Structure 1
Amino acid sequence: MKKNVLILAAALALAACGGNAQRKAATADSQETVAAAPDMHTAETSLDYLGTYEGTLPAADCPGIQTTLTLNPDSTYELHLKYIDRDAEFDETGVFTVKENLLTLAQLDDGSEEYYKIEENRLRMLDAEKQPVTGALAENYVLQKNK
């Protein structure tokens, strides 16, 4: 009789351990599913791109263009350009849209568009084909967010 009780106890212990292993496997499978979920974070779903950005963009006929771009909560923008070593300043206003990480500025006066890639606390100016500028001056086409 003692043998039967010991065998029964051993069988129950093994069954309990086996059930726990199955639960662990099921938990690991569900964690894999969670880990495989795509990252849905884009600039479009985040509000951190609003604000004022500044920098000096390269220019062909002067040392650079001091640039200040403000993105307002109502989807309007204000752009101020000051040419260094020249007596020339320009202001532009318009509306902007954000799709994924692409910022599009549409000027109110003539409807022309400019493109920027939204990055962490900065905007990278893009060319007319919506591609980053390449070459030796590529890092100069960035506006940093004011804190």
Structure 2
Amino acid sequence: MKNKILILAAVLALVSCGGNAQRKTAAADTQKAAAAAPDMHTAETSLDYQGTYRGTLPAADCPGIEVTLRLKPGGAYEQHLKYIGRDSEFDEKGGYTVRENLLTLTPADGEQPEYYKVEENRLRRLDAEKQPITGALADNYVLQKTTE
């Protein structure tokens, strides 16, 4: 009788360990699948890019350009530019589109479009080829989202 109880206990111990191994394998497979899944979060699928952004962009012939950019619902924008150290201010209106993380501003007056990369609570100015601006002043080409 003792032998039967010992054999039964050994079988139960082996079965319980085997089940645990299966659970560990299933958990590892789930983690691998989650890690392999692409991140589908883009500015286009998110609603948090609309709002007001401010910053001072570098300029060739003055200390900088104070920029206020408002992205409105429905694809319209307003931009106010103030040249520091000058008596020059400009307002611009137009439409915008967002594809993945690329924001394209198309002025209503037919001027060249401007490009920005949409990042978390900020916009990074891109060049005419839609590439990040490089060089010593690269970090200055950023507009921060405001609570306005």
Taking structure 2 as the reference length, the TM-score comes to 0.90
- Unmatched 5+ stretches in structure 2: none
The alignment partner of 2:4 has SS state of: helix
**What is residue 32 of structure 2 aligned with on the other side?**
32
Displacement after TM superposition at 1:111 (Å): 5.3
In structure 2, relative to structure 1, the CA distance for the partners of 1:9 and 1:61 (3 Å cut) is: closer
Displacement after TM superposition at 1:126 (Å): 0.8
CA distance in structure 2 between the partners assigned to 1:61 and 1:101 by the alignment: 31
Could you give the per-residue CA deviations for residues 20-46 of structure 1, whole angstroms, max 9, x where no partner exists?
222221222122212221111111111
Superposition CA RMSD, Å: 1.5
CA distance in structure 1 between the partners assigned to 2:106 and 2:9 by the alignment: 77
Moved more, 3-12 or 116-125: 3-12
Displacement after TM superposition at 1:2 (Å): 3.0
The alignment partner of 2:44 has SS state of: helix
Give me the identity figure in percent.
Answer: 72
Displacement after TM superposition at 1:114 (Å): 0.4
List structure 1 runs of 4+ shifted beyond 4 angstroms: none
Taking structure 1 as the reference length, the TM-score comes to 0.90
Could you give the per-residue CA deviations for residues 54-85 of structure 1, whole angstroms, max 9, x where no partner exists?
11112222221111100011111001111122
- Unmatched 5+ stretches in structure 1: none
For these two proteins, the number of residue pairs brought into alignment is 147
CA distance in structure 1 between the partners assigned to 2:69 and 2:41 by the alignment: 24
CA distance in structure 2 between the partners assigned to 1:63 and 1:12 by the alignment: 79
CA distance in structure 1 between the partners assigned to 2:126 and 2:62 by the alignment: 20
Is residue 83 of structure 1 aligned with residue 83 of structure 2?
Answer: yes
Give 1:61's aligned amino acid. D
Give 1:24's aligned amino acid. K
CA distance in structure 2 between the partners assigned to 1:132 and 1:85 by the alignment: 27
Aligned ranges 1:54-93 → 2 under 5 Å? 54-93=54-93
